[in-house]
Amino acid sequence: MAQVGRSLTSDLDGESMSAQTAGPETLGHLSDEPPQQQPQDNKKAKAITGKSPMRIAMGRLARDKIAMVCAAVVVLFVLIAVFAGAICSFFNVSTDTVLPSQYLDTLGGGLPLPEYGPPNGGFTIDHPFGIAPQSATDNLAFWVYGARTSLEISFTATLFASFFGILMGLIAGFVGGVVDKSISFLIDLFLTIPFLLAGLVIAPIINQNFNASDNYPRIQFWALIVVLAGFGWMGVARLIRGEVLSLREREFVQAARVIGMPTRRILVKELLPNLAAPIVVSISLMLPTFVAAEAGFAYLGIGVTSGISWGQTINKATPFFESYPLYLWEPVIGIVALVLALNLLGDAIRDALDPKTRR
Amino acid sequence: MKEKGWTMRRTKPLAVVAGAALFALAACGGSGSDSANPESNRTYTGAAEVGKDPERQAPAADVEGATAGGTITVYLPGDPGPDSMDPTDGWSVTGNSIQQALTSRSLTQYAKDPKTGEMVLVPDLATDLGSHNDDFTEWTFTIRDDAKWEDGSPVTADEIAWGIQRSMDSDTFPAGPGTEYSQTYFSGAGEYKGPYTDKGKKWDGVSVDGQDVTIKMAKPFPDMDYWGAFMAMGPAPLGKASTPPDYGKHIMSNGPYKVESFRPQEELVLVKNDQWDPNSDPGRHQYADKFIFKFNQDQAKVDQIMLSDNTESQTALSNALGSNNYDRANTELGDRLIQQSAQCTSFLAPDYTKITDINVRKAIAYAYPYQDMWLATGEVPGVTRVPANSIMPPGMAGKHDYFVDGEQFTYNPEKSKELLKDAGYEPGEFKITMIYYEPDPLAVAGQKVLVKGMEEAGFTVKGIPVQDSPYNIWLNPDDKLNKTLNLRGVNWCSDWPSGLTMLPPLVRTGAAYNTAQFSEKSIDDKMAEIPTMPLDEQADAWGAVDEEIGTKYFPIIPTAFRNDLYVFGSKIGNPTGDGQIGAPDYKDLYVMQ
């Protein structure tokens, strides 16, 4: 349920933001700040006149230390995910299944024998993160590939959700009338179905139809993306619709209409650039939601059950929290670090784009 | 009997080829004292073979040092418990072990022998273990006249006859044990459908004469005295008072405890039944004031409670222990950690119609990574799972200690490849198709290990993940997926210590749990003949058939004999297991004051 709550809050954030900010005027007037806010920076303020609003925002973001640290963490995770194979072969570890009895203490709770690393022995170079109890697979390889699964799913789902959300929002807001009513109804309808529930319902259906297929893990992967994206686009759509409603009565849109621009062109060339800020913000907040949701699904035994996922490792590790805490901490730290970094980065981006919330 | 935990929750371990005993038949066998158990420093509790004591008199001998009072809390991790408490419906280890010990009496029962500490078959509501005619086609039990219901009215022979008649109704009680025994052996089996389905129809299977209840059989049934220890062979209030399914929610107790509250899958609270008289019962005690059974508990949580030894856990017990805590429990708890033979065997069942070459079946037996599978699925190798050699579990009368291939099967990829070569298959050529239970991460991990092990041994394995209980697929002959499989599994527990409850249900042509689809007429005939043989030859005959099946056909591959671990709080007196049913011995527990 946490994911749903999160998406609702980000939704609300968006609404409130659209009330305060938005619009080209606001962004355009960034440089004309009230002098009492930065009286000592008059020179600087002068220097940045003439930059585009986006560049001003980026510059502000670059000066935000927390944002930069978070960006570095996110980039690091992205690199880990992209080069998962190389990292594993560098450390000479793999996600292959092994026959566990030779590595584990059979009567000692299925924990690794001391020579294979923690908790009973020291760290070894063969398995830098140790090996898993019960199955004796390598923790580092599972962690690295878990990061890949997590990012792959959250990035793809975000891409689809934001694309669809933006499209629906633009159409609803601009066309209005019956189209707006029906899209708004669709949004409300989808908002009533929590995606946790959708995931629980779809998992057995996918299983029933495709379990004999060789591509089953891949099908499961895409099904999860469809669930996440299919039940995550509504927030963006609402936000964009609200923005468009306020923008479409502006002079420049009216002018474009008068000179006979086709609707598609008005949407893409006139409206979309002015929506950059809310879109960037909502995407940056959608990512961590999906990372957490993917792990949550895997923990519940739905989602990516045939692949590798942090959530699954957490599920297997919870009984060992006392005897082998490291096994649980590894994926937990991965998720916490990634979600926290993405969230803080998202907040920083919003702050940077929105002059009124500047600290 | 259904093994406990047959509908395990998503996160609970399910062992074997995808599935711990989801649906195995229960334990009523003598527990093993033999040590097929080399790695464990624990020993089985209980006797080698079950004894009978028809002379046992009420009241039951006092447990030494036992004191009255207190509340005993029983945690059942991952075990949903019975849905209905109707005695006729009871065919699960969990439900029967609780009810037969505490609330629902029957013709006979098991009780501790005060001298040896082993479970023996003794009379319960009957005054002896029954008398039979020469060919076991008519059994007569004389009912004692001093037993009472919880409302004070006497338990009559008519009520017992009514209970027995109810057990004929397979349609009303499809999961009851009567479907297997009453409907096979009692007169009118297959024709009379029971008092609720065949309303008003007369049944001559059971007759009452004074205090005597006589049961007529359709075919010789020498094990009626054991079958009498099932609560389904006990009384039910006459008429509407016992109409299912309502009766299952509000049963009338006639044992030392009565139901205070029952919330299926959550909690059962039993309190003292003041109408129960110790002088009417040769097997039960009434020490504790109250029993609280908590179903569907979280294993990790229960382990923490039991290991903490705080005031709450001192008077509690748990019927399972997580394998990750075995080491700690073993060193910290000592005698309070009980390892109990569950009288169960786990099998791999290669499809007899598809894998026709015995060498391939033997190759599978060498290709199965036993120890690795147990570890990966959350078992404790050598403790909760020990290597198995025969269909009958250890301690069952007549069990032969034979080895199909001259030695105990262990994981041996080389040997497996050799056998495959003899059968004409190159490594990787023979394809195994099987299913595994996807919602359980331990089952998924086990499947990965199985694939790894078997592929190293020369097989190709296609594992198909399913979200339904594997038994629902294995037992459904019309299931499309089931038809594509050539390797299944099955877990089975004995209902009483006789090969009769182990072999025919697994290897008789057309038997429901014959997931290997084994069919040999000579074996069918032999198994049908054994119940007609002289009583003292039957046990050995079952053992001989077991060995013949194994060595000559090897249709099902025994992978493990199963044991349970019970954890008792430090103030629970007499912490022991009941080897007959594979559960804690609730009858003799007390709270130390």
How much is the mean pLDDT over chain B? 87
B441 and A135 within 8 Å at the Cβ level: the answer is: no
Note whether B262 and B268 are within 8 A (CB).
yes
- Spell out which residues of chain A touch residue B326, defining contact as CB-CB under 8 Å: 107-109
| Secondary structure (DSSP) of A93-125 | -------GGGTEETTTTTEEPGGG-TTTS---S
Does B559 have pLDDT greater than 70? yes
CA nearest to A211, candidates B373, B460, B348, B462: B462
B324 interfacial to chain A (CB closer than 8 Å) = yes
Does B510 have pLDDT greater than 60? yes
- Spell out which residues of chain B touch residue A208, defining contact as CB-CB under 8 Å: 467
pLDDT tens per residue across span A15-59: 444 444 444 444 444 444 444 544 455 555 555 567 777 788 888
Q: What are phi and psi of B565, to 5 degrees?
A: -120, 125
- Spell out which residues of chain B touch residue A136, defining contact as CB-CB under 8 Å: 375
| Least Cα separation, residue A300 to chain B (angstroms) | 8
Name residues whose C-beta falls within 8 Å of residue B364's C-beta, 6 or more positions apart in sequence: B348, B350, B355, B416, B432, B454, B459, B487, B557
B375 and A110 within 8 Å at the Cβ level: the answer is: yes
| Least Cα separation, residue A281 to chain B (angstroms) | 36
pLDDT tens per residue across span B137-193: 999 999 999 999 999 999 999 999 999 999 999 889 988 888 888 988 999 988 999
> What angle (nearest 5°) sits at the alpha carbon of residue B28, between those of residues B26 and B31?
115
Secondary structure class of A186 (helix, strand, coil): helix
Q: CA-CA distance, A9 to A3, in Å (whole number)?
A: 10
Reported ipTM: 0.77
Q: CA-CA distance, B66 to B574, in Å (whole number)?
A: 8
B411 interfacial to chain A (CB closer than 8 Å) = yes
Secondary structure class of A160 (helix, strand, coil): helix
Q: CA-CA distance, B310 to B568, in Å (whole number)?
A: 12
A318 interfacial to chain B (CB closer than 8 Å) = yes
| Least Cα separation, residue A160 to chain B (angstroms) | 28
What pLDDT is stored for residue B282 in this prediction?
93
Mutation target to probe the A interface, by most A beta carbons within 10 A, among B438, B442, B479 is B438
Q: CA-CA distance, A46 to A60, in Å (whole number)?
A: 15
Q: Percent of chain B having pLDDT more than 90?
A: 59
Residue B440, CA distances (Å) to A312, B265, B467 in order = 10, 20, 9
- Cβ burial, residue A52 (10 Å; 0-12/13-18/19+): exposed
Note whether B28 and B109 are within 8 A (CB).
no
pLDDT tens per residue across span B351-393: 999 999 999 999 999 999 999 999 998 889 989 999 999 999 9
How would you classify the pairing of strands B131-132 and B267-272?
unpaired
A110 and B324 within 8 Å at the Cβ level: the answer is: yes
| Least Cα separation, residue A235 to chain B (angstroms) | 31
How would you classify the pairing of strands B385-386 and B487-493?
unpaired
Q: CA-CA distance, B493 to B174, in Å (whole number)?
A: 19
Q: CA-CA distance, A30 to A51, in Å (whole number)?
A: 10
CA nearest to B237, candidates B328, B114, B155: B155
Does A184 have pLDDT greater than 80? yes
Q: CA-CA distance, B408 to B395, in Å (whole number)?
A: 18
Place of tokens 């946790």: A196
Considering only the beta carbons, identify the residue of B300, B371, B464 that sits closest to A319.
B300
Does B15 have pLDDT greater than 80? no
| Least Cα separation, residue B452 to chain A (angstroms) | 7
- Output the six-digit token pair for B99: 């009810």
Portion 146-205 of A in contact with B at CB < 8 A: 203-204
- Spell out which residues of chain A touch residue B467, defining contact as CB-CB under 8 Å: 203-204, 207-208
CA nearest to A183, candidates A172, A195, A197: A172
Across chain A, the runs of DSSP E, i.e. the strands, are 104-105, 111-112
**Which H/E stretch holds residue B573?**
strand B572-573
What pLDDT is stored for residue A18 in this prediction?
41
A211 interfacial to chain B (CB closer than 8 Å) = yes
Does A268 have pLDDT greater than 90? no
Q: CA-CA distance, A262 to A265, in Å (whole number)?
A: 5
- Output the six-digit token pair for A146: 């878990």
Using CA coordinates, name the residue in chain A closest to B381. Answer: A106
pLDDT tens per residue across span A209-265: 888 888 888 888 999 999 999 999 999 999 999 999 998 888 998 899 899 999 888
A300 and B10 within 8 Å at the Cβ level: the answer is: yes
Burial string for B577-591 (b: 16+ CB within 10 Å, else e) reads: bbbbbbbbbbbbbbb
Q: CA-CA distance, B481 to B346, in Å (whole number)?
A: 22
| Least Cα separation, residue B451 to chain A (angstroms) | 9
- Spell out which residues of chain B touch residue A306, defining contact as CB-CB under 8 Å: 438, 444, 465
Q: What count of other Cβ atoms lies within 10 Å of the Cβ of residue B162?
A: 19
A267 interfacial to chain B (CB closer than 8 Å) = no
CA nearest to B369, candidates A106, A112, A99: A99
Mutation target to probe the B interface, by most B beta carbons within 10 A, among A94, A97, A120, A310 is A97
Using CA coordinates, name the residue in chain B closest to A103. Answer: B372
Note whether A257 and A267 are within 8 A (CB).
no
Query: Cα A166 to the chain's mean position, in Å?
Result: 16
B148 interfacial to chain A (CB closer than 8 Å) = no
| Secondary structure (DSSP) of B520-546 | -HHHHHHHHHGGGS-HHHHHHHHHHHH
- Output the six-digit token pair for A226: 């469809």
Rounded to a whole number, what is the distance in angstroms from the first to the last CA of chain B?
36
Q: CA-CA distance, B57 to B31, in Å (whole number)?
A: 24
Across B64-105, the runs of DSSP E, i.e. the strands, are 71-77
Q: Average of pLDDT values for B237-256?
A: 92
pLDDT tens per residue across span B392-442: 998 888 899 999 988 999 999 999 999 999 999 999 999 999 999 888 888
What pLDDT is stored for residue B152 in this prediction?
94
Considering only the beta carbons, identify the residue of B375, B411, B464 that sits closest to A134.
B375
Secondary structure class of B269 (helix, strand, coil): strand
Q: CA-CA distance, A37 to A56, in Å (whole number)?
A: 17
Q: CA-CA distance, B441 to A305, in Å (whole number)?
A: 8
| Least Cα separation, residue B390 to chain A (angstroms) | 24
B380 and A134 within 8 Å at the Cβ level: the answer is: no
Q: What count of other Cβ atoms lies within 10 Å of the Cβ of residue A292?
A: 22
Q: Higher-confidence residue: A5 or A292?
A: A292
Note whether B360 and B416 are within 8 A (CB).
no
- How many CB pairs (< 8 A) connect A and B? 118
CA nearest to B510, candidates B477, B466, B478: B477
Considering only the beta carbons, identify the residue of B327, B452, B465 that sits closest to A107.
B327
Q: CA-CA distance, A268 to A337, in Å (whole number)?
A: 36
- Output the six-digit token pair for B351: 């499809």
| Least Cα separation, residue A317 to chain B (angstroms) | 10
Portion 35-74 of A in contact with B at CB < 8 A: none
Place of tokens 């499947």: B447
B444 and A100 within 8 Å at the Cβ level: the answer is: no
Place of tokens 């591959």: B557
User: How many Cα atoms within 13 Å fall on the side-chain side of residue A150?
Assistant: 37
B467 and A207 within 8 Å at the Cβ level: the answer is: yes
DSSP lists the bridge partners of residue B584 as: B577
Name residues whose C-beta falls within 8 Å of residue B236's C-beta, 6 or more positions apart in sequence: B87, B88, B159, B162, B163, B166, B242, B247
pLDDT tens per residue across span A291-328: 999 888 888 877 787 788 898 899 889 888 888 999 99
What pLDDT is stored for residue B453 in this prediction?
94
Amino acid, single-letter form, for residue B286: Q
DSSP lists the bridge partners of residue B52 as: B121
B39 and A109 within 8 Å at the Cβ level: the answer is: no
This prediction has a pTM of: 0.80
Portion 262-321 of B in contact with A at CB < 8 A: 299-300
Using CA coordinates, name the residue in chain A closest to B447. Answer: A97
Considering only the beta carbons, identify the residue of B372, B378, B438 that sits closest to A305.
B438
What is the 8-class DSSP label of residue B172? T
Mutation target to probe the B interface, by most B beta carbons within 10 A, among A99, A209, A322 is A99
- Output the six-digit token pair for A260: 């006979």
- Output the six-digit token pair for A180: 């707006």
Q: CA-CA distance, B444 to A31, in Å (whole number)?
A: 59
B440 interfacial to chain A (CB closer than 8 Å) = yes
Mutation target to probe the B interface, by most B beta carbons within 10 A, among A134, A324, A328 is A134
A109 and B328 within 8 Å at the Cβ level: the answer is: yes
What is the 8-class DSSP label of residue B590? E
| Secondary structure (DSSP) of B470-509 | HHHHHT-TT-HHHHH-SEEEEEEE-SSSSGGGTSHHHHST
Does B116 have pLDDT greater than 60? yes
Note whether B71 and B317 are within 8 A (CB).
no
Mutation target to probe the B interface, by most B beta carbons within 10 A, among A107, A220, A297, A304 is A107
